[in-house]
Structure 1
Amino acid sequence: MKKFIIPLYLSASGLLYSQVAVGASPENNNRWTFGGGIGVGFGSNSAFYFQASPRVGYRLTNDLEGGAVGSVSWQTSDFYRSTMFGVGPFVNYYFARSFYLSANYQHYFINYKDKYYDFKMNTDEDALYLGGGYMQRIGNNSFMQIGLMYNVLWKENSSIFSTGLVPNIGFVVGL
């Protein structure tokens, strides 16, 4: 499985980069931005994780962007299965064309099943991520974003998430 997914991910990244670099124009008068991130993970006990988070934004000024982001993730192993959907607004402030500050509110809908104890749970949870990061230009108006966010609503014993700290990598076209 790993021999299939890693080359597929690398090929998709190469295609995305070539489309962004060829299709980008020096003057971008369109204020809409598009992007997101994708993640895949593997672990012990047949653990598999897939996550996608598309986003659409609108540049309010050259340095301020607002929009909506969604997320979907699937996790499975020998012991559990989980599906999670999230949606919410975000705002990004860009400075020095290489850095950004971000606020992102997400409302998650969570479906969890423990296979070992035959326990099922359907719940929802709110998250308010605050953070920032670095942007690397990959085309005329396209960037890769690398950052760190913290969920200020996270509580250790009452959250479905194991931690409030979230590293992220994503792409955005249209800045």
Structure 2
Amino acid sequence: MKKLIISLSVLFSGLLFSQEAAETPMQTNNRWTFGGGIGFGFGSNNYFNLSAAPRVGYMLTSDLEGGVLGSVSWQKSNAYSSTMFGIGPFLNYYIARTFFVSANYQHYFINYKDKIYDVKANANEDALYLGGGYMQRIGNNSFLQLGLMYNVLWKENSSIFSSGLSPNIGFVVGL
């Protein structure tokens, strides 16, 4: 249920943003791209999550984009709270503006507090996501991206993440 709410929220906010972007004429000489996603979730034990992931890219060729992306996530529940920041480079290769192959590296800074045992911890973790997905045009030069990424650096018992697999929904303007 949490993933459904997050997905619908990101989709709705992106569609609102894309309506504004679609009204401006496309600039063919501008190679900069902008996008990202936002999300939130609710769950049992008063769980709440709020996240944002902005990105800025530059079209190196007509099909290859490189750039920087960031992420911030706040989570809290009756049992714990955490704040996580991530930043790193990405590379996307677009296939006929319908599919994309992607690689991105993220370095995460994590601040965690266990409310039950009164334990605080700070950690860092690296992630190298490889994957791809489908793109749907939603405006003049705006796209919805639906993809699946896998963190090839993920290790089951030593990662803060529960899985190496990461579905993603995002938006990009400027392609």
Q: Same fold (TM over 0.5)?
A: yes
Code of the residue aligned with 2:32 in structure 1: it is: W
Code of the residue aligned with 1:86 in structure 2: it is: G
Query: CA shift at 1:154, angstroms?
Result: 0.2
Query: CA shift at 1:150, angstroms?
Result: 0.2
1:121 aligns with 2:121: yes
TM-score by length of 2: 0.91
In structure 2, how many angstroms separate the alpha carbons of the residues matched to 1:105 and 1:130?
9
In structure 2, how many angstroms separate the alpha carbons of the residues matched to 1:47 and 1:113?
14
Q: Which runs of 5+ in 1 are unaligned?
A: 1-7
Structure 1 equivalent of residue 59 of structure 2: 59
In structure 2, how many angstroms separate the alpha carbons of the residues matched to 1:30 and 1:75?
37
8 A contact 2:93–2:100 mirrored in 1: yes
What is the SS of the residue equivalent to 2:23?
helix
8 A contact 2:94–2:101 mirrored in 1: yes
Structure 2 equivalent of residue 4 of structure 1: none
8 A contact 1:78–1:115 mirrored in 2: yes
In structure 1, how many angstroms separate the alpha carbons of the residues matched to 2:22 and 2:35?
14
Change in 2 beyond 3 A, CA 1:141/1:84: same
Change in 2 beyond 3 A, CA 1:136/1:9: closer
Code of the residue aligned with 1:139 in structure 2: it is: G
Structure 1 equivalent of residue 148 of structure 2: 148
Query: CA shift at 1:21, angstroms?
Result: 1.3
Structure 2 equivalent of residue 34 of structure 1: 34
Query: CA shift at 1:15, angstroms?
Result: 3.2
8 A contact 1:21–1:140 mirrored in 2: yes
8 A contact 2:10–2:169 mirrored in 1: no
Code of the residue aligned with 1:16 in structure 2: it is: F
8 A contact 1:142–1:174 mirrored in 2: yes
Structure 2 equivalent of residue 5 of structure 1: none
Question: What is the aligned-residue RMSD (CA, Å)?
Answer: 1.9
Residue deviations 1:139-170, cap 9 Å, x none? 12110000000000000000000000000000
Q: Which runs of 5+ in 2 are unaligned?
A: 1-8
Structure 1 equivalent of residue 5 of structure 2: none
Query: CA shift at 1:24, angstroms?
Result: 4.0
Structure 2 equivalent of residue 18 of structure 1: 19
What is the SS of the residue equivalent to 1:78?
coil
Aligned length: 169
